[in-house]
A and B are shown apart, each in its own frame.
Chain A
Amino acid sequence: MNENMLRIENLTVRVDNLQILKDFSLNINKGEVHVLLGPNGAGKTTLIKTIMGFKKYKVESGKIYFKGEDITNLSISERVSKGIGVLFQRPPEINGVKLSKLLSVCDQKRSEFAKEASENACDSDLDDYMNGLAQRLKFSEHYLERDVNTGFSGGEVKRSEILQMMVMQPELLLFDEPDSGVDVENVELIASVMRELLDRDKVPSKQEKSGLIITHLGYILKFLGHITRAHIVMNGKILCSGNPKQIINGVMKNGFEKCKECISCIDPTEKFNEVDFTL
């Protein structure tokens, strides 16, 4: 069963008159988790913001399909309503809007999109639900009463972002550097929630969620279980795709520059195995 979740076809994107993505293509099926590696400025964040439909990211050519539907020209909220969720690397501070308020809005939106009544019928249910989630992420209740991202540390930003994803429960999750600026203990904490959100602990036939993870270092990947495929992005293009272990090891050893020559991954001791479901 290779049901398609996200398909990007020959995407060329401009930001402020600068071409960032060039003829970029990517395919992610239902139940798959892909990782995108690449140096700064390669176009990774641009890809995520283009998938979301941010205004500054102008699609010059190419198409984005979500579950077979062309979403290239939909608004951000329409894309989200169809089941796309995103964890930003550096989200803005929203003064005056408390995290608890934003989470309740997320909950309201999730049930609206699912066309079902909220599971949290009354305010106290919602409070209990939010507090339960916050505890899981080691946030105190007081924390939820702070303004969104205002004065948050790097780790707090990521935990707040993933908290919102826990409420939204999207089918396709885009993670932009989920581990940058996060201390070691919290990387494991975030990774454990990511596993849950991505159905990683279920048997493959029950894995319904898909994910695209952008990372610099790949440290968090250690805790995420099976990754379907890894891609190296450089200069707005996918340079190579393949077995995550092989590619990550190659990059760790030799850096991205060697990828240009495509010699990093040539290692006879590692076998390429696309259907590796070991956790």
Chain B
Amino acid sequence: MINKDKIVDDIDEDIDLNEYKIEDLKTSKTYNSEQEIPNDLKDYMKKVGIEVDSDKSGIFLQSGNKLDLCVSNVQGIELMPLKEALKKYDGSDGKLNLQNYFWKAVASDKDKFTTEVAINEITDGYFIHALAGQKTIFPLQSCLFIPPFPGLKQVVHNIIIAEPGSQLDIITGCTAHTGAKRAIHLGVSEFYVKKDAKVSFTMVHNWTETTKVRPRTGIILEDNAKFFNFYVVMSEVKNLQTNPVIKLIGKNASYFGQTLIYAKGGSYYDTGATAHLIGEGSKAEIISRVVAVDNSHVIARGKIIGDGKDVTGHIDCSALLLSSTARVDSIPAINAQNPEVTLTHEASVGKISEENIEYLMSRGLTEDEAINLIVSGFLDADTSPLPPSLAEETRKIIDIVSKSEMG
């Protein structure tokens, strides 16, 4: 049981990364096609919206620290293990030098988790590269799975580059086997979105009550670059801390992030996003919707720093508290460093109003049905900014996840 008065730094201090192990990777084998993926693994993937046999532009699967499968079907969009990409893109013959993208969006010495990822030489992750002007038709899929290996340390480093004018749609599912005990997931993701490029990223997490999760994400947006970030987590977790940092360095760059959390059991979530508006006319919107039940504790943060001329930012953190033993801290922060900025925020934490429940009951719903309808409406994602195929996919995933997790 987590002491609710502790701040997250204390929770991090409790983690000794030397207590976690990386499995023996020498004996592992990689699958050659979707058909070879075992059915039970497919079932886990489905729970986070990853459907192996469907139409997709490409797929990357990893169990623990072992690559399971990597298939890319679309010309102009590259998907490969990061180690392999590093060899390919060495800067020779006028090619991209991938070394220039290492630890530029996330600092390697940010904390002990990024340091662990930086010093680890045997683990991998994915590299996604959309060439200039190329667009994905179907979303790319990636799935990171924690197998039932007690005390496993999953260490992942991903780099995503969208070259000028490209469009990337990505679905990522991270999940753990129900038998995964005391595992930790460390995932560094660095996104580089260049001029006029657009990235839509839907991420679904489904953990177990003993998993600790520390994603570290950095996003750099150049002129006119757009980023849509959807994050959905509705399962139990031991504790999870994430706070993607978005640097909008380009003119008119824009970021829209939406987080949906259904926190249950004894889960502890500290989630947020920090957007740094540097480029003239850049804008950011950070939205979070939290429903806390049981003994869960959620800290929902959002921070926007307005530096550039004519930038706009808005934070909206709303939470429903549905149990007297749950807790939500909503912490929006706006920081203006230029008089020509428009930054706003709103935050609310509360229970569902009796008036709303009784109104729905007057249409024949029972009290529980009325509460469920309000909660699922509250957690309904605004997928309108997403491209149609990803929007549909995202809605489908949210539907699957909420049905299985909210009962």
A interface residue numbers (CB < 8 A to B)? 52, 54-56, 75-77, 80-81, 86, 88, 91-92, 94-98, 101-102, 105-106, 109-110, 112-113, 147, 164, 168
CB-based nearest A residue for B353: A92
Determine whether the beta carbon of A76 is less than 8 Å from that of B377.
no
Contact status of A76 and B362, CB under 8 A, knowing A55-B354, A97-B373: yes
Q: How far is the CB of B5 from chain A (nearest CB, A)?
A: 32
Contact status of A94 and B374, CB under 8 A, knowing A55-B354, A77-B366: yes
Please name all residues of chain B whose beta carbon is closer than 8 Å to the beta carbon of A102 when the two chains form the complex.
360, 363, 373
Please name all residues of chain A whose beta carbon is closer than 8 Å to the beta carbon of B367 when the two chains form the complex.
75, 77
Question: In the complex, A81 Cα to B379 Cα: how many Å?
Answer: 28
Question: In the complex, A77 Cα to B374 Cα: how many Å?
Answer: 16
Question: In the complex, A106 Cα to B373 Cα: how many Å?
Answer: 12
Extra pairs beyond A92-B359, A96-B378 (16, CB < 8 Å): A52-B358, A55-B358, A77-B361, A77-B367, A80-B361, A86-B362, A94-B356, A94-B359, A94-B377, A96-B376, A96-B379, A96-B380, A102-B360, A109-B363, A112-B364, A168-B364
Question: In the complex, A77 Cα to B366 Cα: how many Å?
Answer: 6
Question: In the complex, A55 Cα to B12 Cα: how many Å?
Answer: 46
How many A-B residue contacts, CB cutoff 8 Å?
A: 68
Question: In the complex, A164 Cα to B363 Cα: how many Å?
Answer: 8
If over half of B's interface residues share one DSSP class (helix, strand or loop), that class is named, otherwise mixed; here it is helix
Determine whether the beta carbon of B380 is less than 8 Å from that of A52.
no
B93 within 8 A of A: no
Instruction: Kindly list the 5 A-B residue pairs having the minimum CB-CB distance in the complex, ordered from nearest.
Output: A96-B377, A109-B364, A97-B377, A76-B361, A80-B364
CB-based nearest A residue for B365: A77
Please name all residues of chain A whose beta carbon is closer than 8 Å to the beta carbon of B360 when the two chains form the complex.
94, 102, 105
B9 within 8 A of A: no
B36 within 8 A of A: no
Determine whether the beta carbon of A106 is less than 8 Å from that of B363.
yes
Please name all residues of chain A whose beta carbon is closer than 8 Å to the beta carbon of B359 when the two chains form the complex.
88, 91-92, 94
B355 within 8 A of A: yes
Question: In the complex, A109 Cα to B355 Cα: how many Å?
Answer: 20
Please name all residues of chain A whose beta carbon is closer than 8 Å to the beta carbon of B379 when the two chains form the complex.
96
Determine whether the beta carbon of B380 is less than 8 Å from that of A168.
no
Q: List 8 A-B contacts (CB under 8 A).
A: A77-B361, A77-B365, A80-B361, A80-B364, A91-B359, A97-B374, A105-B360, A105-B365
Q: How far is the CB of A118 from chain B (nearest CB, A)?
A: 14
Please name all residues of chain B whose beta carbon is closer than 8 Å to the beta carbon of A77 when the two chains form the complex.
361, 364-367
Determine whether the beta carbon of A81 is less than 8 Å from that of B364.
yes
Of listed A94, A98, A109, residue having the most chain B CB within 10 A: A94
Question: In the complex, A164 Cα to B358 Cα: how many Å?
Answer: 15
Determine whether the beta carbon of A105 is less than 8 Å from that of B373.
yes
Please name all residues of chain B whose beta carbon is closer than 8 Å to the beta carbon of A52 when the two chains form the complex.
358, 362
Question: In the complex, A101 Cα to B367 Cα: how many Å?
Answer: 17
Q: How far is the CB of B76 from chain A (nearest CB, A)?
A: 36
Please name all residues of chain A whose beta carbon is closer than 8 Å to the beta carbon of B374 when the two chains form the complex.
94, 96-97
Question: In the complex, A109 Cα to B365 Cα: how many Å?
Answer: 7
Question: In the complex, A86 Cα to B358 Cα: how many Å?
Answer: 12
Determine whether the beta carbon of B356 is less than 8 Å from that of A76.
no
Q: How far is the CB of B227 from chain A (nearest CB, A)?
A: 24
8 A Cβ contacts from B329-380 to A = 353-356, 358-367, 373-374, 376-380
Q: How far is the CB of B63 from chain A (nearest CB, A)?
A: 36
